[in-house]
Structure 1
Amino acid sequence: MMKTEREVQNQVIETFKSMGYAYLGDLTKSDNENINKESLKAWLIKNQKIEPERWHKIEHEIHDALKNDLYEANQTFYNLLIYGVKTKTSQNENMQTHWLIDWKDVSQNEFSVAEEVSVKGPNMKRPDIVLYINGIALGVLELKKSSVSVESGIRQNLDNQKKEFIRDFFKTIQLVMAGNESQGLRYGVIETEEKYYLSWKEEGVQKNLFETIECFLDKERFLEFIHDFLIFDKGQKKCARFHQYFAIKKTQEFIQRKEGGIIWHTQGSGKSLTMVWLTQWLRRNIQQARILIVTDRRELDAQIQGVFSGIGENLYRADSKKDLLSVLFENKEFLVGSLVHKFDDNDLEDLKKQYIKTYYA
């Protein structure tokens, strides 16, 4: 027998509870915001021993981050999540960094789930499921019964982000999702168009709503996906497809063993963005990392430079063989682009005889 939407939602809630998410209840009758300030404050006091004056500074920085429209606010708040909130309580004090999420130890964070979360806006809306970390709303999930398409849930998410509804609520949201039992889970980010919502596929996992939730929204992976697999690209927020995620994870293993390898891609599978996410991971995790991107066409070289420029990364394009060798040996530029034609067999032999300081490719 086909489950009702209520029955699907009940099972989803039970799935999250079994994964260790605390259940906050049905919030239909309460007026909810995207940050439960008391929960966040309590977590910061417990985990970072902040004092009341410090909390007011943190609260002010968060308020400032969220005052712009959706895209700009979401990007600014994301930077607070990733790089911490910087405060000082006096002129003589050095700037202090306070983390809204403990990225290093998943167990130190408080994961919770609520249903029927009423949110006031020009017109009230009530997302089916909201996921919180340390009191911050980071995920939204709309659910449908099997006879109603998952696309209907996606359109509901898009409607909720309109100015006449609860657009401001999405300023902290990192994953926007919809699902039903017959089609499984779809995911995107703020303002992702319906046709660009993604499916999650994983070896050994059926295309099942509940199994997909268990693997994709596992606490550790949920945090990792937010930290390492989202970007803001020239006015558009983007997230990784499943094959990009697993390719990058496998590449990380090879890099940590100081081994090389090849990622096989097809046309249109997101090679440039895979490079971007891997580059960001290298910058954050490998000390003194340097990257050389070699292409075979000037147009592609320029295109890749544009992709990196769109996310705020400066790619230095070597304009000659001499310039390329110079920039590699000077160890100044983090990210270097070159055409393959600048290399020949003699160059490779020369490079083998010399030492390029702390170089990853």
Structure 2
Amino acid sequence: MTSLNLEKKLVEDYVLESLTKKGWVYKKPEELSRDSLDEPLLISNLKQKINEINKDVELTEDDFKKVLSELQTAFSDQNGHKKILSFYKYGVPIKTEKERVVKYIQLFDYKNFTSNEFIVSNQFSFYGKEKIRLDIILFINGIPLVNIECKNPYSEKTTYFDAYKQIKRYEKTVQELYKYIQIGVGYAEKVRYFPIVPWLDDVKQELWRWEELKEEDAIFEMLSPFTLIDIVKNFIFMREFRGEITKVITRYMQYRAANKIYHRAVDYINGKTNKNKGLIWHWQGSGKTLTMIFAAHKLYFDLGKPTIMFIVDRRDLERNFLTN
């Protein structure tokens, strides 16, 4: 092993160690329960968690096959990505065998995040149009959600951008895997995350900040089990903007501000505080409109779909809401 490869492996090991400290369970590639190298899902893990999470529904083997079929037959185009993300957020609608009514089968437990299974693995091989091997992959309940590609931070020949381009290339050549994955991370001399959008040649890469942590450690706050599952439910969306369909993922200041709004409202409603308002400072271009939309979505679904009003004082802000 060359010194450059050794340094890259040390980076990969550091990422794995940091993730396990946050609550991820490490499994070697050969320990993963996979049906084949061209199947992205850990089907036995997914089946077990679906049965545990949906205890109020009497699910049969055929019911699980219906859920699995909905996932596997979703196309890897824009509509397929929209469909998969909807399944993640709201569940997979199927007509159950015994009750003969449509039920939304939940893939993740959003009420009790510790009930979910969080697995991290590395050197994950997958066969698509070409054989690839991912540096690091994160699964929740057997579903791959995050891909981290590492580069040697001390190399003058490679940067985090090479990791980003590598994931962008994988998106197109192994689409059956990346229709499930929502977030890519390039980890090198810089650390940047971005949404998985295979039909766009380029997407914006973001830096996650957290308190006084350096960027190489702040990303693990974003990828902690609680935060990641919160992001999947409330902070990542498909968006049509200026005729272009893309995927929006929260920036660090939007995530913190939206959750401040959420907790202030919930605590007031539950009588835990008499504070019923607040002021959030965002700089120009920081995504204030999306902050409000993220907060409204979380409040809407957690508080029984109340009426939420947005009050703006300029026409251009109104247009921003309509286009977002």
TM-score when normalising by structure 1: 0.76
Worse overlay, 36-45 or 25-34: 25-34
1:10 alignment partner in structure 2:
13
Q: CA, structure 1 residues 124+15, in 2 after alignment: closer, same or farther (shift >3 Å)? A: same
User: Relative to 1, partners in 2 of residues 1:283 and 1:83: Cα closer, same or farther, differing over 3 Å?
Assistant: same
Q: Alignment partner for residue 292 of structure 1, among 298, 303, 309? A: 309
Structure 1 stretches lacking a partner, 5+ long: 308-361
Question: 1:58 aligns to what?
Answer: 67
**Quick one: which of 252, 262, 284 aligns to 1:267?**
284
Find the partner of 1:200 among 188, 205, 208.
Answer: 208
Aligned to 2:253: 243
Cα distance in 2 for residues equivalent to 1:297 and 1:16: 44
Q: What per-residue deviation string (whole Å, max 9, x for no partner) do you get for residues 208-257 of structure 1?
A: x2x22431211111111111111110111010111111111111122123
User: Which residue does 1:104 correspond to in 2?
Assistant: 111
Would the aligned equivalents of 1:26 and 1:114 in 2 still touch at CA under 8 Å?
Answer: yes
CA contact (8 A) 1:272 1:304 kept: yes
The separation in 2 between residues aligned to 1:266 and 1:14, in whole angstroms, is 35
Structure 2 unaligned regions, length at least 5: 269-275
Give the Å deviation of 1:92.
5.9
Q: Does the 8 Å contact 1:70/1:170 carry over to 2?
A: no
Alignment of 1:83-162 (within 5 A): 83-90=90-97, 93-146=100-153, 147=155, 148-162=158-172
**Residue from 181, 190, 195 that aligns with 2:196:** 190
With over 3 angstroms needed to count, the CA separation of the structure-2 counterparts of 1:136 and 1:270, relative to structure 1, is same
Contact 1:111–1:133 at 8 Å: present in 2 too? Answer: yes
AA aligned to 2:204 is Y
CA contact under 8 A between 1:117 and 1:130: conserved in structure 2?
A: yes
1:299, CA displacement in angstroms?
A: 3.8
Q: CA deviation digits over 1:12-48, x for unaligned, max 9?
A: 2222233332222136997153212122113223444
1:76 aligned to 2:83? yes
Structure index of larger Rg = 1
Structure 2 distance, partners of 1:246, 1:92, is 42
Write the deviation string for residues 182-222 of structure 1: whole angstroms up to 9, x where unpaired.
Answer: 32x21111127656100110113222x2x224312111111
Within 5 Å, give how 1:335-346 maps onto structure 2: none
1:248-259 equivalence runs, <5 A = 248-258=258-268, 259=276
Q: Structure 2: how far apart are the matches of 1:95 and 1:221?
A: 30
Deviation at 1:91, TM superposition (A): 8.6
CA distance in structure 2 between the partners assigned to 1:8 and 1:253 by the alignment: 36
Say which SS state the counterpart of residue 186 (structure 1) adopts: strand
* 2:194–2:203 CA contact under 8 A, matched in 1: no
3-state SS of paired residue (1:261): coil
Amino acid in the other structure paired with 1:62? L
Aligned residues: 299
Paired letter, 1:284: F
Residue number in structure 1 paired with 2:273: none
The residue identity in structure 1 corresponding to 2:60 is E
Partners in 2 of 1:288 and 1:77 — Cα distance?
A: 23
Opposite residue 170 of structure 1, the aligned amino acid is Y
- When residues 97 and 303 of structure 1 are mapped into structure 2, their CA distance, relative to the original with a 3 A threshold, is closer
1:143, 1:179 within 8 Å by CA — same for their partners in 2?
yes
1:39 aligns with 2:39: no
Distance 1:286 1:47, change over 3 A: closer
Residues in 2 aligned to 1:214 and 1:239: alpha-carbon distance in whole angstroms: 16
User: Structure 2 length as normaliser, TM-score?
Assistant: 0.84
AA at the equivalent of 1:55: F
Percent of matched pairs sharing the same residue: 25
Alpha carbons of 1:268 and 1:134: their partners in 2 closer, same or farther (altered >3 Å)? Answer: same
**C-alpha distance in 1 between matches for 2:161 and 2:99:** 55
Return closer, same or farther for 1:92/1:17 CA change in 2, 3 Å cut-off: closer
Distance 1:85 1:249 in 2: 26
Instruction: Sort the Cα spacing of 1:38 and 1:205 in 2 relative to 1 into closer, same or farther, 3 A.
Output: same
Tell me the distance in 2 between the aligned counterparts of 1:193 and 1:205. 31
Please give the secondary structure, in 1, of the residue aligned with 2:184: strand
Counterpart position of 1:330: none
Q: Which amino acid aligns with 1:156?
A: Q
Q: Contact conserved, 2:29 with 2:122, CA < 8 A, in 1? A: yes
Deviation at 1:288, TM superposition (A): 5.0
